[in-house]
Structure 1
Amino acid sequence: MKWIKIRSLKHKIIMVFSVITVILIILQVGFFQHWVSAIILRQSEAYFQETVRQIGKQVDLQHTIIDTNARVIRNNQVIKNYLKDLKQHTINYQIAKYQIARQIVRLPNLDKMENIYIFPVGYAPMNLFYTDAIFQIDPETQRFIHDHENRDSRSDGVIWTVKPTTHQLSMMLLIYDGSELLGLLQIDLNDTFQNQLDDVKLGKQGSVFLLNQGQILFAKDRELINRNESALDRLSGSGTVASYQLNDQGWKLIGIVPSIEIRNQVNQVNKIILLMELFVFACIFLFALVILRMILKPLKQIMRGMESIEQGRLDVIMDKSKHDEFSVIIRHFNDMAERVNRLIKTVYYQQLTYRKAEVINLQSKLNPHFLYNTLDMIYWMTVVKDEEEIGDAIISLSNILRYSISHQNEFVPVAEDIEQLENYLKIQRMRFENKLAYQVQIDPEIVDIKIPKLLIQPLVENAIKYAFQQMLLGGTITIRGYASGDELLFEVVDNGVGMPSEKVEALLATFENKSQPSGLGIRLVQQRIRYLFGEEYGLSIQSEMGQGTTITLKLRRDAGIQQAELWKDEALQA
């Protein structure tokens, strides 16, 4: 496949810039985005890990406060004494409950606690600080107390549970006095603790989970509460997992962010980067167009100037208002064009002077034989006859001499030049004793168009000289003039002896050879036409032996007036 040729410098630069832009975008999509994605993934994982760690510290702090308050209640000796007296039946239940409640309400940092109950051994539950009162101990709690009451060793650990219906988080501690079990302390946390975890944001779809000894204590999806940690495997398998181990209580905080959210963040960042790159490329592209305009505008101006010179308009002057390298080139171009214009004008004036001299020389070269014969004819007519033809001949000759010698108007209307041509033909017809006939057929449309003076007469003289050498039977010359489009045509047709094609070609060849003396009149006519109107105008010859010859003169119709004025101006300057 052949490459498309691009000749415009602007299009070449834009194409190169576009190719480079496409390559950079491909590299960005294939390599840079992958690299950025890896960085974003690492940073996202680090961010989520740090977020879970900070949340874990807050949960750990709240857990410590709650645990401290619970242990303060359990280790309060006054409470123990009342519970011991109650167990030994030495104190009234209500009095003991009242005294224990007084001890509890004095404690600080109870804002995270919803309910505080004590289940004395052998007695009904004590509602000490509560929203929901309990009047009977549930069988499971009763069984729990009974199991530990019969043990020889005491259990000081904290038991965390989540109520299945309300999902309320509760803690239970056994109260001992020495090794004697006195009762069970139960503290229910309020919604503040869970609400804080519910408000945690890990991206848009991430979640945190609170576990104790592998059991889920908190999850936004409440169906996961009280289930084993293995229930999170399905979620963690398709996302980023961050965990934080709380201090020496067996609690662990796990944060899980779906992988699709990480990918969305990566895609969003990549889109932003891509849009920024496209914006930068657009700015660079506009900048390149501005630079191209700054470069190509003066370059196009120089090209237009060169085209003007190529078309012959040498008076072109380009603007050089700016002050840069192009202004220097334009200044030199203007100087060059001005010098070329002066040189061409100088050569033109020299050639014009030379051509004028040739024309004047041609016009001044009236055929001596013609003058001698005419004077001789006048002489014999005067002797033999006393007729008016003598006067006509003298007037015609006078007009011809005056018309030929005058140099004031080098371009004349067609009618004027044809009139002088008829004077010439009248004299020639008298010379050949009326054996010469002529016809003049000029289109009235062209009679006022100006043509170079004495342009047709040399052609007629050439026909009389060569076509009617014997003149035994006489001859006829027809002069036609008409317009064809933008061209002005004159035909000189004779019925003379004619010429073979070889002679016609040889005659045409002499038009280009100035050293040839033959055919001087017709050759100068050809040179005058080429000089005044251009190479596409001039003479053409058609001839056949015994059939006559036709010489066609082709001029430019609309150039006569301009050339005449130019000739006149140059003549005045000369």
Structure 2
Amino acid sequence: MPHPFKSGTLRRTLVIYLLIACLFPPILFSVYTYSSLHSILTGKIRSGIDASLKQEATGMENMLNDLDFVSKQFALDGRLAELVNRYLKASQTYDKAEIKQDIEDSLNLVNFTSPNVGLTVYYMPKAAEPVLFNNLPVTEGFSIDNLPPFVQYKGAVFHGPHRTQYKNSDNTVISSLRVVRTEQQTPVYIYLESNYNLFRKILNSALYGMKVSHYVFDEEGDALFADDGEPPLDPKQLRYEEIAASGGCPYRGYYLFGYESPQGWKLMTAVSKNEFNREINDWFRRLALLFAFAFGFAIVLATLVWRKVYGSIRKVNREIVRMTRDREAPVQYMQVEEFDQLLGSFQDMKTTVNGLITEIGHNERAKYQLETEKLLSQINPHFLHNTLNTVQWVARAGGQEEIDRIVTLLVQVLQYNMGKNSLIVTVGQELEALRHYIELQSYRYEDELSFSIDVEPGTESIAMPRFLLQPLVENAIYHGQSEEGGEIRVVVERQPDAPGVLTLRVTDNGPGMNEETLAGLLEDEGASRRGMGIGLKYVKRLLESYYYGSGDLLRIRSVPGAGTTLSVHIPIRSEVELYDQSAGR
């Protein structure tokens, strides 16, 4: 066997072209992306980090402004300063208690209106009891001496970030210290802290969508790690000026972003290179996966196209030629997997075509048989009519009115069923003939059966095949007899959920039938054994072979002990459409 990919073969050409067609777009896309999208994603990430950093810095600036504003109220307000002076000068315990209560009420009021302020303390370092007034319990050994300096701003000294001096908490806070305006030689300070976990809420990695580390720089340029845990970079080795001059390049494996506040302090975030490039790396992994999928898809597509095109060019043409000469001849397989798969499909097609041809022949024979049966049922109708007319004349001459009526009804039924009238009638004409048939059967069964006909108004003019209802009523008469008196009901109506469908339904209250009897009811031999003649067979074949193309329009439902229902659901069509359908057009 020659090599399938040798030079000049169609398979090799198809595979090469399909590989180029499927791989060239992702390769071109990858090259273009590498040169442009990397900078776009980097700029997007940087912009997001800068925006989050600015948001955090704004929160810190607002926090410091709140501390500054509240500290001025406590330190410079004339009333509070006067109360502090009076307290320090008072010698009576009662007077001090009253003044202290007044000051603490003021503390609580200001704290209530300033939710960003936490611990508030009037502090006199050289007093026997340095903590004069406070709104919350403080830690033992409260002091301002060892607090890390942060910035001097608007007459106040800010410290932090540091652990709160509130006794019942370990949160990180920013604090402010301002001298209170008093007449004492010994200075008195108002000490304020940011409220509880406000500092942690402001410096929050969730704003960035990635893990970041925060550093704050005081006005001297010294850095302090502002997060919990171990700092990724040693704060003592960080200088803000050097970082600002780095131009955004990685510094010891981290990207650094800074903000310089007009209040005199600076904020910096550090993001590891892996965290910074995570989104970019994810995108490139997806791109690599897309490229691998495109390559695999190209291989599969090339193989499929080769099997469908190259394999069929030679074999299908030969089998088509053979089929024109010998339709029944089986396909000759070549023991080559690719070819045999295609030839198997072609064999299935030949089998289907042969089956359809056989089915068409069977349908034609069935149609011919139906025509023959119909023709035999009309043999010498004039002789039969003349004989019945003679019997009718003899009955009238003898005064036998009942016999005269029976013969008259029989003649009318025979003329409708065996006559040469149109094969397409209206519902009204079919019901008129059915009433003659029912009246004729009433003479035979007398009080054993009762009949009722319900017709939906407006349906009498609908076109339908002739002799469709009488076989259904015949079946009901045969099965509807019961010891208590049979009832047969005929209903003609439009289907409620499908106004374009006409329903013909005949129901009896007879003993009903089991599943086995129902299964054999429409079989040729079974129907004959039960005395059904060709009635239901005729209806089914009429629906299937002539007018509607399906015998399933006839449905039978029966419950033992509850009667049987025969129904026919036919599409509402015009007389012309029914004629065209019966003619095969």
Give the structure-1-normalised TM-score: 0.43
Q: Please say which structure displays the higher CA radius of gyration.
A: 1
